[in-house]
Amino acid sequence: MPLASVPIEALPTRSTTRVRVFLDRGDSGTLVPSAVASSPELVLFDLDDTLFDHSLTCRAALARLQVQTPAFATRPLDDLWREYLRLLDSQSSGVASPPALYADRRAERFRRLAARCGWKMAAGEAREISARYRDHYQRLRRPVPGAVALVRRVARRARVGVITNNEYAEQEEKLRFLGLSQLVDPLIVSARERVAKPDARIFRIALERADARASATVMVGDSWTNDVLGARGAGIRPVWFNRFSVRPPTRHRVEEIRSFRPTGPVEALLDPATRRRPLTHSAARPSAA
Ligand SMILES: [Mg+2]
């Protein structure tokens, strides 16, 4: 699911954990839990907007930029943010590119963003503004609420890995910022592997590096296409981190988490062995599009 499709009005205003375990209707017509009953050997997480709060860091950095650069304030912050995420998605291939191109792409994003605000920005200005944005982004970045605590708890019982689409150095640094580098192995980054989610090959690379079976692995991520459908394509059980409560775009049934706080119910969904008492869950029909 493109980040730009996140409905801003749906942003959570408080930290609540909602775990929905969708039930699957078997051939007999009987409803059966779709959750796997055994402990996973490996729990894979996506990084951006699952562990690292990329979207809201972008929004905060753009808000700072609007204060410094009034031309960007001609549009409401949420419009600017949506447009920026759209441009980012349109430029992301997930596979390797030279670092110099990475900076060029960012400058080009700001040139196009300025054009949307009626400002014909020169190439030098675009580089300067994009560097300023980058400084804001680095200073304002933050983890997704509850994500770090969850990974620490999961790592006590299972191996933890990350599969992410982006440049290696960028993603490795984000993991270090979160304080999770020592707990995550393997870290699988699309640019280094030269294959990106949702391609099943990148999930198989993670399984091979962790020496884990697909049937004993869980993948947690916010992207319907990259994480949910990608994991499913590799035979891995997906858990959708639907933080912004959007409707699933296809009719696939999936287990869904809307917040990582508190960690207990989420941990119990990922690893049933942690479940000391039955989960209170709603047997909701998948809200198919
Ligand atoms: Mg993501």
Domain count for the chain, please give it: 2
Which alpha helices (DSSP H) does 8-76 contain, by range? 54-68
Ligand 1 centroid to residue 26 C-alpha, Å = 31
This prediction has a pTM of 0.81
Compute, in angstroms, the gap from residue 31 CA to the centroid of ligand 1: 31
Pick the last residue of a domain from 140, 170, 204. 140
Closest CA to 33 of 287, 282, 289: 282
Residue 248 belongs to domain spanning: 16-53+143-274
Check residue 273 and give its pLDDT: 79
Q: Does the residue 280 lie in any domain?
A: no
Q: How many CA atoms lie within 13 A of 80 on its CB side?
A: 26
Pair (101, 162) in one structural domain: no
Tens-digit pLDDT profile for residues 208-225: 999 999 999 999 999 999
How far does the centroid of ligand 1 lie from the alpha carbon of residue 232, in Å? 16
- Are residue 135 and residue 150 in the same domain, yes or no? no
What is the average pLDDT score of the chain?
83
Tokens representing residue 228 in the block = 């949910």
Residue 77 inside a domain? The answer is yes
Distances in whole angstroms, Cα of residue 189 to Cα of each of 57, 143, 197, 273, 275: 21, 19, 9, 30, 32
How remote is the CA of residue 223 from the centroid of ligand 1, in Å?
A: 5
Find the CATH number of the domain harbouring 225: 3.40.50.1000
Residues 21 and 77 in one domain: no
Measured in Å, how far apart are the chain's first and last C-alpha atoms?
13
- Whether the predicted pLDDT of 286 surpasses 90: no
90 and 45 share a domain?
no
Distance 3 CA to ligand 1 centre (A): 8
Please state the rounded mean pLDDT for residues 37-59. 94
Supply the pLDDT for residue 94: 56
Spacing, Cα 278 to ligand 1 middle (Å): 30
What's the 3-state SS for 27-45?
CCCCEEECCCCCCCCEEEE
Q: Is residue 139 predicted with pLDDT exceeding 70?
A: yes
Are 114 and 147 part of one and the same domain? no
